Amino acid sequence: MPSAAEADVTDDHGAFVPGGRVSRGPTGSGALDGLRFAVKDLIDVEGLVTGGGNPDWAASQRPAPADAPAVRALRAAGASLVGKTVTDELAFSLEGENHHHGTPRNPRAPGRLPGGSSSGSAVAVAAGLADVALGTDTGGSVRVPASFCGVFGFRPTHGRVPLDGVVPFAPSFDTVGWFAATGEVLQRAGRVLLGDTGSAAAPLHLVRLDDALAAADPGSRTRLVPLARALGALDGFDVFEGDRASWLRAYQVLQGAEIRETLGGWIAERRPRFGPSIAPRFHGLAGIAAAEIDTWRAWRAAQVRRLHALFPADRPTAWVLPSAPGVALRRTASADDRGRFYDVALALGAIAGHAGLPQVSLPLATSDGLPVGLSVIGPPGSDEALLALAAGLDTDHP
């Protein structure tokens, strides 16, 4: 079992887990030679305890016996691990705060939140401390911090990247995603993580999700709608069909039911200490009724069939929408402001989440000088086409 080497850090923007940054060298050579990567502390690195952002979780775990497949793949392709990154406690947040480890500082939006729960990974890339960083995305935990921190972020088709060696949260929504500062590096990492087929991805015809764009705050919307059109999304439709609230509630109930199944036993046994904003979320899981779970499971199944059918069989098509409701929340944001953010962010994230669709967040716009991400969702298995789109855009966008 390798030993962890510690690196001296003068300013890591709070991105890395406290206690000394760890490193691991590459195990092979390939497409990622010379690149540095960071790993969210929900993903196993051999010989290290996967802390999950919570000291009681960390205390109940043994050192990981092996690298998670995603970590193993990056190292085998020539990349070097430069640290484990801060996560919101057991992934139950989109804000990027951690009561125990502190809040990573957003390099692109000082005084504002980095977004969570893959907060440290996004900050590590935005600050230039890593070229690639692994995160997890259930309800938006890659897409939101990518938007807040102004970096590229990718959520793959559900199941494309193995979840072995990853702390389970809500398994039917969970994915391993990643961040990069450029679309080209995002694509290179994707070829490694997804398996390079060597075949060229067909260009995507882009269509707007008009009601999703309308849900963004006014300042962000005025930047994102013209950008979507400039990218070629000249047509649009309403994905929520006038009922965005159902997308939110279905996600909350079904995610909550799965969290209760995966973590409820551990919580009942260990009675862990959660931060003041996280504890009520776990406590509230007990009130989810079986009848409501059944109702929303049936609703979800119907919506998955509908969404999949909306992609034309004869033309590769993808949908354009905001990555987040707007720019990064202030660190001092009120409970009401945070509640309004969640109501929109979880509904936006649930489009890809409910249907297991891949989504890329593109850092192509700013509002009042702050990053705001534009996202593209593709049909199942269109990951390579979305990554090719990102690589072709990078910062040379309309």
pLDDT of amino acid 4: 34
| 8 Å CB contact between 389 and 360 | yes
pLDDT at 9: 46
Say what the pLDDT of residue 385 is: 96
Which of 40, 80, 93, 220 does the annotation list as catalytic?
40
DSSP code for 243: -
What is the predicted pLDDT for the residue at 257? 98
Catalytic one among 118, 121, 141, 382?
A: 141
* Cβ count within 10 A of residue 50: 24
- pLDDT per residue as tens digits for the range 177-236: 999 999 999 999 999 999 977 767 889 999 999 999 999 999 999 999 999 999 999 999
> 80, 117, 361, 375: which is the annotated catalytic residue?
117
Q: How confident is the model at residue 6 (pLDDT cuts 50, 70, 90)?
A: very low
Residue among 81, 94, 67 at smallest CA distance from 35 = 81
Structural domains present in the chain: 1-398 (3.90.1300.10)
Q: What is the pLDDT of residues 28-57, one digit of tens each?
A: 999 999 999 999 999 999 999 999 999 999
* 127-149: b (≥16 Cβ within 10 Å) or e: bebbbbbbbbbbbbbbbbbbbbb
Residue 3: per-residue pLDDT: 34
| Angle in degrees, CA 199, 201, 203, rounded to 5 | 155
Provide the pLDDT for residue 291.
98
Confidence category of residue 5, pLDDT binned at 50, 70, 90: very low
Does residue 124 carry a pLDDT above 70?
A: yes
367 is catalytic: no
Count Cα atoms within 13 angstroms, Cβ side, for 263: 27
Does the annotation count 40 as an active-site position? yes
Question: What pLDDT does residue 24 have?
Answer: 98
Structure confidence by residue, pLDDT tens digits, 286-331: 999 999 999 999 999 999 999 999 999 999 999 999 999 999 999 9
- State the pLDDT confidence band at 2, using cuts at 50, 70 and 90: very low
pLDDT (tens digit, 9 = 90+) per residue, 244-298? 999 999 999 999 999 999 999 999 999 999 999 999 999 999 999 999 999 999 9
What would the pLDDT profile of 58-100 be if each residue is shown by its tens digit? 999 999 999 999 999 999 999 999 999 999 999 999 999 999 9
Nearest 5°: CA angle at 345, between 318 and 16?
Answer: 100
- Which pLDDT belongs to residue 10? 58
Residues 4-32: what's their mean pLDDT?
A: 82
Nearest to 98 by CA among 122, 116, 124: 116
How many whole angstroms separate alpha carbon 259 and alpha carbon 142? 18
Tokens for 86? 């801060």
- What is the spatial order of strands in the sheet that 152-155 belongs to? 80-85, 36-40, 132-137, 175-180, 152-155, 359-367, 370-377, 317-322, 205-209, 236-237
pTM score of the predicted model = 0.95
pLDDT of 200 reads: 74
Q: How confident is the model at residue 11 (pLDDT cuts 50, 70, 90)?
A: confident
